[in-house]
A = this chain, B = another copy of it.
Amino acid sequence: MQYQHNFNPSISDEDVFTQIQAEREHIGYYNLVHQETSALKEYASSVNQKNIVVIGIGGSTLGTYAIYKFLKYSKNLTKKLHFLETTDPIDIQSKIKNIDLEDTLFIVISKSGTTIETVSIFKYINSLVTCDKNNSVVITESDSKLNEYAKANNIKSFEIPKNVGGRFSVFSAVGLLPLAIVGIDIDELLFGAKTAYDSFFNKEDTYERIVKKARFFVEYKNSFNINVLFSYSSRLDGFNNWYIQLWGESLGKVDINSTRQGLTPIGIIGPIDQHSFLQLIVEGRRDKTVTVIKVNDFENNLKIPQVELRGLEELNYIDNIEFAYLINKQADATIESIRNLGDIPCDVITIDRVSERSIAALMYEYELLTSVCAKFMYIDAYNQPGVEAGKVILKEKLQTGR
A283 CB contacts on chain B under 8 angstroms: 252-254, 260, 262, 385-386
**Count of chain A residues with Cβ under 8 Å from any Cβ of B?**
116
Is A133 positioned at the interface, with any CB of B under 8 Å from its CB? no
Bound CA–CA A300/B93 (angstroms): 10
The proximity string for A residues 387-400 relative to B, scoring 1 for CB distances below 8 Å and 0 otherwise, is 10111011101110
Closest B residue to A114 by CB, please name it. Answer: B315
Q: Which of A122, A127, A298, A312 has the most CB of B within 10 A?
A: A312
Nearest CB of B to A259, in Å: 9
Shortest Cβ distance from A398 into chain B, in angstroms? 6
Cα-based distance from A302 to B330 in the complex (angstroms): 45
Partner of A329 from the list B92, B225, B312, B397 (CB cut-off 8 Å) is B397
* Closest CB in chain B relative to A23 CB, distance in Å: 20
Output the nearest chain B residue to A119 by Cβ-Cβ distance: B315
Cα A219 to Cα B89 in complex, Å, equals 39
| Residues 216-267 (chain A) with a chain B CB within 8 angstroms | 225-226, 233-235, 241, 244-245, 248-249, 251-254, 260-262, 264, 266
**Would you list which residues of chain A between 185 and 244 have a CB under 8 Å from chain B?**
225-226, 233-235, 241, 244
Interface stretch, picked from A6-14, A43-51, A168-176, A320-328, is A320-328
B398 contacts A302, CB within 8 Å?
no
Interface of chain A: mostly helix, strand, loop or mixed: helix
Max chain B Cβ within 10 angstroms of own Cβ: one of A166, A266, A288: A266
B276 touches A389 (CB 8 A): no
Indicate if A355 sits at the interface (CB-CB under 8 A): no
Q: A88-B235, A287-B225, A398-B318 are in contact. Are A387 and B312 (CB under 8 A)?
A: no
A84-111 residues at the B interface, CB under 8 angstroms: 85-94
| Residue contact B58 to A272, C-beta cutoff 8 Å | yes
Q: Given A120-B323, A127-B305, 6 more contacts at CB 8 Å? A: A87-B271, A88-B327, A120-B326, A149-B312, A252-B280, A252-B282
User: Across chains A and B, which 6 residue pairs bring their CB atoms closest together, nearest first?
Assistant: A262-B284, A58-B275, A252-B280, A148-B311, A252-B284, A282-B386
8 A-B contact pairs sorted by A residue (CB < 8 Å): A57-B272, A89-B323, A89-B327, A90-B234, A149-B309, A252-B282, A264-B280, A279-B385
